[in-house]
């Protein structure tokens, strides 16, 4: 079996998803989980984009020991120097240089002729080679680049010192047959092609990112780039979990495999969803809530008789273990601790006490507390955001014949308790207007979504919001049995994150890749 290297760009291309902006601690938390997943190469960011990005990449480079850490760079000396600075403490650094090669990009974006593109990229690779042993070069929009020119560019990159040539389908335009053919052509026409690795980087605009990545593997690609949950620019990137499970499930067919620790997939997916605020759709392959749910009678009957009738991957493969121990309001601290260990949480004494208090509160409202409830409860807070605002109380008056109004009490750091009342066109709107009055923050609600964590009338509701202020966005999450309280908590969480971003110098919200 051929090994397929996995290059994760959740922290770079994934972070280019609208509304996603990870801080340094969040990047490190995700990177450490990617390391546990066994990712070979982690693209941690684009250091030249902002001082905040550079810091984020350096923090990941210092924290991760068992993966190559990569920084993105345009084909320009100041960008390359920024990557050098960001990766100076990395055990295994790599620079990812790119320059667009397609006729559309050459004409309209770069205003360069083919020769200039070749010279600019070559100069950048040669400059970078003085400082990096590992260099990946990407001809951006390779999918729409003339094949003979792509061969020329790849040949130049090899001669200049690149160790990986990545073929991006930047706009998600390729079909599997066309994309596969690019790899086949490069493999047969470019001299010394076997001295480097070929990589595939696909976008999902036509829903073909995974199919294209697999076609690349069939035609000789050594590396697949992608993100967890398939997040990324526009419709997103290849979902790493999809490629990994396709290879694991159909290894005989593909004759290729990854060295990922598949049991970490569910946990990694949840972490990325939590920290980016990007909810995973229920029907998402591999990691969606319904990916292993069998609804129709015929399917359920088949599953009871023999699982393989309708199940090609077991939930355990990706680390979804439903433990037998069901908790309720009479469960004690010992049982709760056992459950946490079962679910893979390793909490210190203080955290355990806080979690147990939350569990008791939840068990008072919910007859049985399942694994998903516990996960949602423990993972409610987005990491380490200083709490300028803490929601203490909400009171809502609602009637379908009257105007809803809400009163909220919020503890404001350094200013004590504040309370205010507001009306709205619905209960959630009234709560959000009241919070705005208390905080005095002028924010726009960019996105609001709600989902039920489990089934039943007493299920926990999980709310995600995205707030925007002066071009800066932040997401927040709230989980409660009462969806109005969950909505209020998500809003206050997002406000705290917005303030945290405002107070962190050198952040960027929009990355220019020109
Ligand atoms: O999609 C793309 O072309 C990219 C490059 C920077 C590799 O993300
Ligand atoms: Zn991309």
| CA 475/CA 381 separation, integer angstroms | 11
Same domain, 262 and 141: yes
The binding-site residues of ligand 1, defined as CB within 6 angstroms of any ligand atom, are 13, 98, 138, 140, 168, 170, 201, 203
Domain range enclosing 309: 297-379
* CA separation, residue 8 to residues 132, 222, 253, 407, 491 (Å): 20, 14, 24, 45, 30
Number of domains into which the chain is organized:
2
User: How high is the pLDDT of residue 513?
Assistant: 52
At residue 322, the pLDDT reads 67
Whether 105 has a binding-site annotation, put simply, is no
Residues 340 and 193 in one domain: no
Within this chain, do residues 230 and 322 fall inside the same structural domain, yes or no? no
CATH number for 181: 3.20.20.70
266 and 321 in a single domain? The answer is: no
Residue 317 alpha carbon to ligand 2 centre in Å: 28
Regarding whether 310 and 255 lie in a shared domain, the answer is no
3-state secondary structure 389-415: EEEEEEEEECCCCCCCEEEEEEEECCC
Give 465-486 as a DSSP string: EEEEETTEEEEEEEEESSHHHH
| Cα gap 504→24, rounded to integer Å | 10
Q: What is the pLDDT of residue 240?
A: 98
Give domain status of residue 336, yes or no. yes
Strands 135-140 and 164-169: parallel
Residue 458: inside a domain: no
Report whether 299 belongs to an annotated binding site: no
Residues 198 and 272 reside in one and the same domain = yes
Name which of 127, 133, 34 is nearest 90 in CA terms. Answer: 133
Would 183 be classed as within a structural domain?
Answer: yes
Neighbours of ion ligand 2 (CB under 5 A): 13
Q: Which pTM does this prediction carry?
A: 0.85
Q: Residue 27, Cβ neighbours under 10 Å: how many? A: 25
Give the N- to C-terminal CA distance of the chain in Å, as an integer.
Answer: 39
Final residue belonging to a domain, choices 344, 379, 414:
379
CA of 203 to the centre of ligand 2 (A): 6
What pLDDT does 510 receive?
46
On whether both 262 and 330 belong to a single domain, the answer is no
pLDDT for the residue numbered 471: 84
Cα–Cα–Cα angle for 285, 287, 289, nearest 5°?
95
Rounded to 5 degrees, what are φ and ψ at 444?
-105, 140
Whether residue 508 is contained in a domain is answered as no
- Pair (259, 320) in one structural domain: no
Among candidate residues 379, 402, 420, the one where a domain is terminated = 379
Rounded average pLDDT per 10-residue block, the chain, 514 residues:
97 87 91 98 97 96 98 98 98 98 98 98 98 98 98 98 98 98 98 98 98 98 98 96 98 97 96 88 90 73 78 92 75 88 84 90 85 82 76 96 96 96 97 98 93 84 91 87 96 92 63 49
Number of the ligand 1 atom closest to the C-alpha atom of 141: 3
Domain end marker among 314, 345, 379: 379
Q: Do 78 and 47 contact (CB within 8 A), yes or no?
A: no
Indicate whether 85 and 194 sit together in one domain.
yes
Q: With contact defined as beta carbons under 8 Å apart, do 151 and 184 qualify? A: no
User: Does residue 304 form part of some domain?
Assistant: yes
The Å distance, Cα 265 to ligand 2 centre, comes to 22
* Residue 334 annotated in ligand binding: no
Residues 261 and 302 in one domain: no
Per the domain annotation, does 326 fall within a domain? Answer: yes
- Regarding whether 335 and 243 lie in a shared domain, the answer is no
Task: For residue 156, tell me if it sits in a domain.
Answer: yes
Note whether 398 and 387 are within 8 A (CB): no
Let me know if residue 60 belongs to a domain. yes
Regarding whether 314 and 171 lie in a shared domain, the answer is no
Test site for ligand 1: of 98, 121, 150, 212, most ligand atoms within 8 A of the Cβ:
98
């Amino acid at each position: 079996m051929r090994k397929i290297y996995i290059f994760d760009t959740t922290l770079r291309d994934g972070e280019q998803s609208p509304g996603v902006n990870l801080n340094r601690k969040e990047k490190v938390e995700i990177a450490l989980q990617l390391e546990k997943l066994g990712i070979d190469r982690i693209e941690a960011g684009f250091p030249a984009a902002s001082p905040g990005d550079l810091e984020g990449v350096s923090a990941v480079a210092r924290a991760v020991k068992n993966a190559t850490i990569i920084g993105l760079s345009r084909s320009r000396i100041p960008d390359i120097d920024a990557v050098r600075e960001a990766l100076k403490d990395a055990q295994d650094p790599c620079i990812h240089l790119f320059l667009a090669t397609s006729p559309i990009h050459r004409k309209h974006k770069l205003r360069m002729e083919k020769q200039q593109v070749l010279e600019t990229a070559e100069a950048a690779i040669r400059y970078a080679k003085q400082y990096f042993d590992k260099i990946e070069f990407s001809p951006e929009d390779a999918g729409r680049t003339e094949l003979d020119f792509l061969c020329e560019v790849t040949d130049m990159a090899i001669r200049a010192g690149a160790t990986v040539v990545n073929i991006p389908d930047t706009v998600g335009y390729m079909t599997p047959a066309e994309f596969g053919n690019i790899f086949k052509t490069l493999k047969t026409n470019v001299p010394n092609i076997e001295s480097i690795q070929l990589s595939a980087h696909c976008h999902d605009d036509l829903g073909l990112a995974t199919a294209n990545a697999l076609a690349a593997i069939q035609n000789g690609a050594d590396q697949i780039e992608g993100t967890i949950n398939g997040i990324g620019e526009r419709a997103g990137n290849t979902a790493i979990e999809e490629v990994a499970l396709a290879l694991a499930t159909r290894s005989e067919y593909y004759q290729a495999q990854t060295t990922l620790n598949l049991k970490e997939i569910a946990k990694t997916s949840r972490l990325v969803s939590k920290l980016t605020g990007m909810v995973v759709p229920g029907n998402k392959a591999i990691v969606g809530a319904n990916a292993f749910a069998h609804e129709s009678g015929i399917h359920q009957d088949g599953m009871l008789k023999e699982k393989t009738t309708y199940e090609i991957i077991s939930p355990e493969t990706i680390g979804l273990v439903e433990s037998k121990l069901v908790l309720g309001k009479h469960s004690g601290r010992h049982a709760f601790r056992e459950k946490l260990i079962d679910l893979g949480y390793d909490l210190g004494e203080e955290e355990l006490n806080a979690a147990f208090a939350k569990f008791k509160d939840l068990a008072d409202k919910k007859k049985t507390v399942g694994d998903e409830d516990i996960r949602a409860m423990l993972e409610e807070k987005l990491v380490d955001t200083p709490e300028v605002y803490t929601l203490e109380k909400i009171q809502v008056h609602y009637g379908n014949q009257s105007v809803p109004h809400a009163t909220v009490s919020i503890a404001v750091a350094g200013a004590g308790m504040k309370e205010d009342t507001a009306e709205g066109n619905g209960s959630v709107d009234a709560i959000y207007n009241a919070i705005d009055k208390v905080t005095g923050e002028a924010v726009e609600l960019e996105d609001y979504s709600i989902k039920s964590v489990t089934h039943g009338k007493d299920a926990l509701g999980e709310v995600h919001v995205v707030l925007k202020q002066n071009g800066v966005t932040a997401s927040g999450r709230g989980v409660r049995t009462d969806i109005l309280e969950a909505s209020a908590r998500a809003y206050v969480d997002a406000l705290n994150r917005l303030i945290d971003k405002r107070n962190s110098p050198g952040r960027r919200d929009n990355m220019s890749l020109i």
